[in-house]
Amino acid sequence: MTDVSPPALHDGLPRVTRRPTRVGLVSGGLGAYWPQFPGLLDRLRESARFVTERLWEMGCDVVDAGFVSDPREAAGAAEHLRRADCDVVVTYLTTYLTASMVLPIAQRAHAPVLVIDLQPNEVMDHPNTGTGQWLAYCGQCPLPEIANVFRRSGVAFRSVSGHLRDGNAWNRIRRWITAARVRGVLRHGRHGLMGHLYPGMLDVSTDMTLVSARFGGHVEVLEFDDLRIRVAAVTDEETAGRVALAHEVFTLDASVNEDDLAWASRVSVGLDRLVKDFGLDSLAYYHRGLEGEIHERLGAGMILGASFLTARGIPMAGEYELRTGLAMLIADTIGAGGSFTELQALDFRDRAVEMGHDGPAHLAISARDPLLRGLGVYHGKRGWGVSVEFDVGHGPVTTFGVGQEADGTFTFVVSEGEVVPGPLLEIGNTTSRVDFGFDPGEWTDAWAATGVGHHWALCTGHRAKDLRAVADLLGVPFRAVTGPGPL
């Protein structure tokens, strides 16, 4: 699939390369037609080749199980796809076929199935179309049959109908492929959890077993000592190189202390090594610390390196926020950035919700060069050092959080708005002003009522449809805040 992630911010911050999306493909039609209408099968196979090529052009690793004409061949294709460990299976209905040729694939492939029917052109040439030619246009004919059988069999049904060169249909297919990419990233992901829960933040607490059970992947439990020994091994030359990178990427406020910047740079290099050594795709962290001891200094020095890594596609979430780290990873995977965010204030005059956070930010989605500010105190946290200040690029945005219910069910919660200009805090925090199109107090009430938790990812673009597709493939309930809730 074409890389949909935000561009690299700087040559010194190369984007991470991940496993390509593995898409299974099986095409089919009813074998009874082939002897009746010579040439039809060749035409349908040509259409199938076109679909295969389009999927390859998206950057997918396509596992093509071939063209099937009866239930026996479909069973063989299902076994082939089962062994391939696909992120999604695309079943292309080239003409009518029976549901018995599709159900085994959905049952045995161990991957979500997308059913597509793409006729040759946008409309038939009716006066010159006989039965054999018409059959190439009736891929949609078995779609209700398949939907009915899927429902009766407990199989999730999703489909895209269109024609081979239908831009709208291919955009919808691309959305499902992007969702499959997220599924693949999560299934094979490694998520670090370093330190301990911020005391009292009960909404942040996440059962790591459920993360692996519901999304796949692995949660690696780390100690701050794992970072300490790597930071201790960083050389002065490596530290100087990271200081130089900070000067290139950031605007440095006069409040920045050079010793604090050097420490943050040293921690940044050590953090890179930690991520590499443990093969991490994300990291959530927090350590309270005491009286300037080494672990406190490490925790306070992580903001620079965490922001660099987040911009590269390896999100870092403070305050031990495992679920928000996953939301940030999902957002980055679909090309929406995703920066660590919480509520800050409400502007009732301009009808804007002010949101952001102290700590790591997704630098690649900043409205301008991000700023480094020196802080003698981190509010609510021990330690001192440099912190990131920026505003997400103005225009359409989506708030996206992963909530968790009493029974352990994860939920996706989204709301679309627009980042608008206006006065911003200058306290070393990220801050964006978001207009959701209605009273900010009512938005806040409706957002909180979803059970999202007090952290989320702020994403670029209107992404509700993309995230709904991801939720569908993952089997996660989806909630959207689109207006004020009940009184």
Tens of pLDDT, residue by residue over 142-172, are 999 999 999 999 999 999 999 999 999 999 9
- Give the predicted TM-score (pTM) of the model: 0.95
Q: Which of 205, 209, 206 is nearest to 217 (CA)?
A: 209
Residues 55-76 have pLDDT tens digits of: 999 999 999 999 999 999 999 9
Average pLDDT (27-39) is 97
pLDDT at 3: 56
Instruction: Identify the helix (H) or strand (E) that includes residue 252.
Output: strand 251-252
Which two three-digit tokens encode residue 127? Answer: 């006066």
Average pLDDT (195-208) is 94
Min mean pLDDT across 334-348, 378-392, 440-454 is at 378-392
DSSP strand pairing (429-435 vs 385-389): unpaired
- 115: pLDDT confidence band, cut at 50, 70 and 90? very high
Q: Using DSSP, state whether 46 is helix, strand or coil.
A: helix
- Location of structure tokens 């999604």: 88
pLDDT at 485: 77
Contacts of 283 (CB under 8 A, 6+ apart): 191, 192, 193, 194, 222, 274, 275, 306, 309, 314, 315, 316, 317, 325
- 2: pLDDT confidence band, cut at 50, 70 and 90? very low
pLDDT at 380: 81
Give yes or no for residue 179 having a pLDDT over 90. Answer: yes
pLDDT at 249: 96
Give yes or no for residue 1 having a pLDDT over 60. Answer: no
| Average pLDDT of every residue of the chain | 95
- 8: pLDDT confidence band, cut at 50, 70 and 90? low
Q: pLDDT over 70 for what percent of the chain?
A: 98
Q: Give the dihedral sign, CA 357/360/361/362.
A: negative
Residues 236-264 have pLDDT tens digits of: 999 999 999 999 999 999 999 999 999 99
Report the amino acid identity of residue 273. R
pLDDT at 390: 93
Phi, psi of 381 (to 5 degrees): -135, 155
Contacts of 484 (CB under 8 A, 6+ apart): 438, 439, 442, 443, 445, 446
- 487: pLDDT confidence band, cut at 50, 70 and 90? low
- 4: pLDDT confidence band, cut at 50, 70 and 90? low
Q: Give the dihedral sign, CA 402/405/409/411.
A: negative
pLDDT at 486: 72
